[in-house]
């Protein structure tokens, strides 16, 4: 018969520094390499003042369009002549501000934007197929801003070479490559195949305003160096390395990423969605279905939206530096287990959840901060690791819970619970034997009311649950079995036919029990 460990009745222990040995502490504010210590939180309301984007750029006078027809050996300007377009073989160069409507195909050609530093160049893709056998098919060399507008009802494709002839330091390395601020908009579709390295790159800022975009890349999927803002649209990214990221690590206040709307689906060989400075999700839908680390940044802010993360290592990781591709099999903090490497130092890293829904399925730590973490709203569900070298919650500093709903399940060896800074109570369940996947777990108050039902997605040994329904100091009986109204996660259910595991008291936690009985 499975039951709860008697240690659950031990009084709460203050959480100052957890046994977060399974975290990888890198580039803390007291260490080296982290030059962006200022948290840059950008919202949808501040996009206009924080980026190059202006919604007025998405409207123009159709009569002013310069129409260009693309064809192998025969590209030409089909509307009134423009001195801003030059055709040289299969290379079309745009050198002046304006609106250019492109249609047709080049099987081995290139579009080049080489405008002035104060010029805004708007390019409408109206059924375009571009490929290049020696490099990138679409390069913005210079402009103040380049706008790539996807015409409604059209399909457009970009594919680069598997090897580039130009290997100089500042040469393009992506199928869509821009040295200037770049905006992608419109309601058409765009398929990008980055066979050499990256799919879409802006070496400045990148705003994804709308569109139906799919990216497949050998290395990084979508990269905006200074910032990346996803406002609307649908983006499907498959990448050999990082999926979507902003990685300016030299300019203070840069290197941030915002998702405020739209749909983003990422399959990555390394990190799913990553920012050097601050990663903010305030709306939309974010799905990371394959990654080493799902979300990673120095500061992670989730205030809305629906986010789902699956990772081979940490699910949500407030840290710096690069993760180990392929997982950490050394027994030093990755899914290989062990007490973990790194440091227990509390660095300048934060996770802040105030709204939305965050669901994590991780083999390493679930929600991990090398600094502090705060949950004040929203719903956080963690289906954490099964090995005792990692934890569903792993916070080097204070884990403060003041609101919202938290259900974090996983192994028991590194279980971290809310600290004394928390104002919302919760319960910690640690089982004497593992609870099998797909098993409903019910938390029932003294009146017999089921206040929470959680269905496991993998074998677990512990569960930490906190919500406004839990009253500090009150006793709760735990049941396994019975029925549930959903197949996974938080739901409603019945204890009919369930088995009682014992009673716990809200607010009484056993902190960070590690291998060897260390606490």
pLDDT tens track for 175-233: 999 999 999 999 999 999 999 999 999 999 999 999 999 999 999 999 999 999 999 99
Q: Residue 81 — very low, low, confident or very high, per pLDDT cuts 50/70/90?
A: low
Averaged confidence pLDDT in the chain: 87
- DSSP β-ladder status, 76-77 and 66-70: antiparallel
Q: Residue 389 — very low, low, confident or very high, per pLDDT cuts 50/70/90?
A: confident
Give residue 46's pLDDT.
79
What CA–CA distances, in Å, run from 340 to 349, 351, 369, 416?
19, 21, 14, 15
Question: Is residue 372's pLDDT more than 90?
Answer: yes
Q: What is the mean pLDDT of residues 333-354?
A: 62
Minimal CA–CA distance to 182: which of 161, 203, 167? 203
Write out the two tokens for 198.
């990256």
Reduce the DSSP state of residue 49 to 3 states and report it.
helix
Q: What is the rounded (10 degree) CA torsion for 245, 134, 161, 234?
A: 50
Reduce the DSSP state of residue 516 to 3 states and report it.
helix
Give residue 327's pLDDT.
37
Contact yes or no for 341/21 (Cβ under 8 A)? yes
Q: Residue 344 — very low, low, confident or very high, per pLDDT cuts 50/70/90?
A: low
**Phi and psi at residue 7, in whole multiples of 5°?**
-65, -10
**Other CB atoms closer than 10 Å to residue 50's CB: what's the count?**
18
What residues pair up with 2 in beta bridges, in sequence order? none
Lowest-pLDDT range, 31-35, 151-155, 411-415?
31-35
Q: In whole angstroms, what is the distance from residue 387 CA to residue 394 CA?
A: 14
Lowest-pLDDT range, 29-33, 208-212, 251-255, 460-464?
29-33
Question: Is residue 93's pLDDT more than 70?
Answer: yes
Give residue 385's pLDDT.
93
């Amino acid at each position: 018969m499975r039951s709860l460990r008697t240690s659950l009745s031990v009084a709460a222990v203050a959480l100052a520094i957890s046994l977060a040995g399974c975290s990888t502490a890198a580039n803390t504010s007291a260490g080296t390499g982290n030059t962006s210590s200022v948290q840059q939180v950008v919202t949808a309301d501040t996009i206009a003042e924080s980026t190059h984007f202006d919604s007025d750029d998405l409207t123009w006078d159709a009569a002013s369009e310069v129409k260009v027809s693309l064809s192998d050996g025969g590209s030409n300007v089909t509307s009134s002549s423009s001195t801003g377009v030059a055709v040289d073989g299969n290379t079309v160069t745009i050198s002046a501000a304006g609106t250019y409507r492109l249609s047709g195909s080049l099987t081995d050609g290139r579009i080049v934007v080489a405008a002035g530093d104060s010029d805004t160049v708007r390019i409408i893709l109206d059924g375009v197929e571009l490929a290049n056998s020696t490099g990138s098919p679409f390069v913005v060399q210079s402009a103040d801003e380049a706008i790539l507008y996807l015409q409604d009802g059209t399909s457009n494709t970009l594919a680069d070479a598997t090897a580039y002839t130009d290997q100089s330091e500042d040469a393009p390395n992506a199928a869509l490559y821009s040295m200037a601020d770049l905006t992608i908009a419109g309601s058409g579709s765009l398929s990008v195949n980055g066979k050499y390295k990256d799919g879409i790159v802006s070496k400045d800022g990148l705003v994804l305003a709308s569109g139906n975009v799919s990216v497949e890349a050998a290395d990084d999927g979508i990269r905006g160096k200074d910032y990346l803002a996803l406002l609307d649209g649908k983006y499907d990214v498959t990448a050999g390395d990082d999926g979507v990221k902003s990685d300016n690590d030299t300019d203070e206040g840069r290197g941030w990423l915002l998702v405020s709307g739209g749909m983003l689906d990422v399959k990555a060989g390394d990190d799913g969605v990553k920012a050097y400075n601050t990663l903010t999700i305030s709306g939309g839908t974010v799905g990371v279905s394959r990654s080493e680390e799902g979300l990673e940044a120095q500061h992670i802010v989730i205030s809305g939206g629906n986010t789902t993360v699956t990772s081979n290592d940490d699910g949500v990781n407030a840290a710096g530096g690069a993760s180990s591709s392929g997982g950490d099999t050394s027994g030093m903090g990755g899914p290989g287990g062990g007490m973990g490497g790194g440091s227990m130092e509390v660095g300048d890293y934060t996770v802040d959840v105030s709204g939305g829904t965050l669901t994590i399925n991780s083999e390493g730590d679930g929600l991990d901060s090398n600094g502090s973490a705060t949950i004040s709203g929203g719903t956080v569900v963690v289906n954490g690791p099964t090995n005792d070298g990692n934890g569903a919650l792993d916070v080097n500093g204070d884990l403060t819970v003041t609101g919202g709903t938290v259900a974090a399940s996983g192994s028991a060896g590194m279980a971290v619970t809310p600290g004394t800074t928390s104002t919302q109570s919760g319960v910690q369940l640690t089982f004497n034997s593992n609870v099998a996947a797909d098993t409903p777990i019910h938390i029932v108050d003294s009146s017999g009311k089921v206040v929470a039902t959680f269905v496991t997605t993998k074998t677990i040994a512990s569960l930490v649950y906190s919500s406004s329904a839990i009253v500090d100091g009150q006793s709760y009986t735990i049941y396994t079995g019975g029925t549930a109204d959903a197949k996974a996660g938080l739901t409603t259910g019945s204890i009919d036919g369930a088995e009682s595991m014992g009673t716990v008291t809200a607010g009484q936690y056993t902190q960070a029990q590690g291998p060897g009985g260390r606490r």
